């Protein structure tokens, strides 16, 4: 039923995706994209609220009777990335191209939003077939990580009870149309650092009169490379890297400072994330002291949250989507070391984060996310739409039992765990009232 309907609405899905793709907007600047989503919701007759700086929340209520109705939140993201979009993808001319210079949808958010809007249209037409409620969540600023907090605060301020949350992300790791489902840790948590080492400057002819911060950085980097082997179990997944090293601009001048920036990814926040947080910080401090340098932690974030898929939701999705799409289009997902703000939702409510394959060699789609060559196979959106609608109906009509997540109905505590001050938390709640 849902696959047939998704096929019938394919032109509708593609129209939304292409309109979004032509007008990509960076995080926090999604004004035209928000207007497009609101227009589509309005045309469906779906009520919605615009959350200042957060995005849009739409609401669909089922008409079926149930003694214990549930509510599910479906998340899609709206923002694009700062890339110039080339005329071709991996091997073919693009079907649609960005009109905004220096900005493109290189992470598939146009696909996510078109799937959710089409699924919303289907769900709104079959309200007599399910009980409970659906919240459509269109998040601004996913790439910057700045939009979700306003959406969560809005839901909290309205005392809206949510039983589960769901999101799809397109992936070049799976063939087009495949729904990849995994239980447990599916998307990594992260930690970011931006460090400045201060030594003493000097002339290149007299290095003995200077204290080169590069020497200190080399010691830190050497220690970082061995940290994985010496401090962590080989059975605990993690990665880390340094992407920026900056110092000086003259060939014969030793600068007085060096800046380096990087990130770390993990699945076990307590055992791995926090241990790295403490061990790497100690390494930096000790190496700086040994080199008679000062260190400034410009940014050193607490470990952010990974996405943990609920076991029961994963099992339901496997059954539901296999029945709707067939066994050839449902696979077990491999965990990804990428990160997504959906993790913050998954620590409020039981969650399901699914990958939708968009790899199609014939169409030139399959480049990595966050690559200028990235493109998606629009036909895959049919399966994403059908799978979403089917799963939502099956979930809302089920007797599934889910365990509460650690921060359900404790959003302020969650914000504190994110290292936010009381003043910042109050500002978040004040912002959503404007």
Write the pLDDT tens digit of every residue in 202-217: 999 999 999 999 999 9
Cite the annotated binding site for Mn(2+) by residue number.
107, 109, 143, 169, 370
Percent residues over pLDDT 90 in the chain:
99
Q: Among 80, 83, 87, 9, which residue's Cα sits nearest to residue 364?
A: 87
Per the prediction, the chain carries an average pLDDT of 97
Domain boundaries, the chain: 1-188+306-432, 190-300
Cite the annotated binding site by residue number.
107, 109, 143, 169, 370
Query: What is the pLDDT averaged over residues 316-334?
Result: 97
Cα 144 to Cα 44, 80, 123, 164, 287: the distances in Å are 30, 10, 30, 24, 32
Q: How many angstroms separate the CA atoms of 375 and 143, rounded?
A: 18
The total number of residues written for the chain in this structure: 434
Q: Quick one: pLDDT band at residue 169, thresholds 50, 70, 90?
A: very high
Question: What residues are annotated to the active site?
Answer: 300, 378
What is the reported pLDDT for 1?
Answer: 87
What is the reported pLDDT for 45?
Answer: 98
Q: Are 221 and 195 in contact (CB under 8 A)?
A: no
What is the reported pLDDT for 301?
Answer: 94
* DSSP-assigned beta bridge partners for residue 266: 189, 238
Q: What is the pTM of this model?
A: 0.93
The SS3 call for residue 364 is coil
Token pair of 234 as six digits: 């080989």
- For the 1-188+306-432 domain, the top CATH level (class) is alpha beta
Q: Which residues contact 399 (CB under 8 A, 6 or more apart)?
A: none
Q: Quick one: pLDDT band at residue 67, thresholds 50, 70, 90?
A: confident
Four-way CATH pick for 190-300: 3.40.50.1460, 3.30.70.360, 2.40.50.140, 2.70.40.10:
3.30.70.360
């Amino acid at each position: 039923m849902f696959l047939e309907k998704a096929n019938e609405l394919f032109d509708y899905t593609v129209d939304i995706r292409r309109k979004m793709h032509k007008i990509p907007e960076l995080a926090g600047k999604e004004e035209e994209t928000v207007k497009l989503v609101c227009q589509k919701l309005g045309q469906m007759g779906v009520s919605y609220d615009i959350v200042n700086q957060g995005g849009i929340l739409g609401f669909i209520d089922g008409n079926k009777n149930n003694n214990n109705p549930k509510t599910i939140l479906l998340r899609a993201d709206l923002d694009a990335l700062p890339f110039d979009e080339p005329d071709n993808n991996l091997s073919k001319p693009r079907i649609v191209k960005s009109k905004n210079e220096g900005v493109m949808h290189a992470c598939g958010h146009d696909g996510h939003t078109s799937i959710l809007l089409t699924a919303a249209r289907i769900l709104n037409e079959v309200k007599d077939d399910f009980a409970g409620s659906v919240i459509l969540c269109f998040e601004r600023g996913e790439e910057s990580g700045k939009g979700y907090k306003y959406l969560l605060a809005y839901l909290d301020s309205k005392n809206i009870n949510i039983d589960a949350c769901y999101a799809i992300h397109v992936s070049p790791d799976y063939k087009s149309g495949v729904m990849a489902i995994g239980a447990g840790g599916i998307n990594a948590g992260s930690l970011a650092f931006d460090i400045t080492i201060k030594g003493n400057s000097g002339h290149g002819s007299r290095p003995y009169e200077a204290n080169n911060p590069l020497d200190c950085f080399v010691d830190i980097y050497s220690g970082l490379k061995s940290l994985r082997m010496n401090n962590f179990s080989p059975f605990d997944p993690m990665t880390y890297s340094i992407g920026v090293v900056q110092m000086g601009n003259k060939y014969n001048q030793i600068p007085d400072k060096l800046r380096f920036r990087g990130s770390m990814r993990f699945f076990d926040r307590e055992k791995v994330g926090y241990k790295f947080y403490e061990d790497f910080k100690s390494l930096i401090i000790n190496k700086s002291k040994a080199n008679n340098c000062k260190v400034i932690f410009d940014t050193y974030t607490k470990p952010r949250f990974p996405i943990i898929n609920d076991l029961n939701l994963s099992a339901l999705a496997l059954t539901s989507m296999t029945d709707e799409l067939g066994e050839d289009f449902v696979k077990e997902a491999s965990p990804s070391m990428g990160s997504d703000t959906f993790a913050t939702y998954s620590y409020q409510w039981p969650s399901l984060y699914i990958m939708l394959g968009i790899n199609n060699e014939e169409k030139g789609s399959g480049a990595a996310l966050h690559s200028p060559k990235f493109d998606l196979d629009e036909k895959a959106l049919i399966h994403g739409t059908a799978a979403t609608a089917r799963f939502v109906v099956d979930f809302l009509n089920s007797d599934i039992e889910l365990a509460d997540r650690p921060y359900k109905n404790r959003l302020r505590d969650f914000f504190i765990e994110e290292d936010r001050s009381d003043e910042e938390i109050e500002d978040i709640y004040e912002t959503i009232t404007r």
